Amino acid sequence: MSSMGRIITLRSSDGENFEVDEAVALESQTTKHMIEDDCVGNGIPLPNVTSKIFSKVIEYCKKHVEAANSDDRSSSIDDELKSWDADFVKGKTPEEIRKTFNIKNDFTPEEEEESSR
C-alpha cells in the first residue's frame, strides 16, 4: 500500500485482535458501517467470525487494497487480481466459501439443489 492510514483493531469471535489499515477494514461492509458510525473506540467486535477465517478475509481485503492502490492499473494488474481471487476460492465448496466470507446461505432447498447441478 502506498501510505498507511489510521489503524483499526478488529476482534474475532475467539478474542484475537487484528490491527489493520483503515483502507483494509473499509473493504468489508460490516466494518465499514461501524467505522462510519464511529464505533471503533475499543476495537470492532466480529462475534460471528473466528480468527482462522478472519485471517483469510483480511488477506483477501489486503490484496484488493494493494491492487486498487497500484500505480500501474493496467489490465495485467486486473488479470493478476482475478487470478488471485480464483485461486483463493479454488477447490472450496460453496459452504466453505460462505464460511470464509461469513455469508448466510439464503437459498431454499430447491435453489440449493438447482445450483449444485
pLDDT tens digits for range 42-52: 889 988 888 98
More confident of the two residues 15 and 72: 15
**Cα torsion angle, 50, 53, 57, 59, sign:** positive
**33 vs 15: CA distance, rounded Å:** 21
Are 115 and 94 within 8 A, CB to CB? yes
Instruction: Provide the residue count of the chain.
Output: 117
pLDDT in tens, 17-38: 999 999 999 988 888 888 888 8
pLDDT attached to residue 71:
65
Domain ranges of the chain: 7-115
**109 vs 66: CA distance, rounded Å:** 38
Residues 6+ apart with CB under 8 A from 22: 5, 6, 7, 8, 35
Are 46 and 54 within 8 A, CB to CB? yes
Specify the CATH architecture of the domain 7-115.
Answer: 2-Layer Sandwich (3.30)
**Model's pTM, two decimal places?**
0.61
Highest mean pLDDT among 52-66, 71-85, 92-106: 52-66
Q: Share the mean pLDDT of the chain.
A: 83
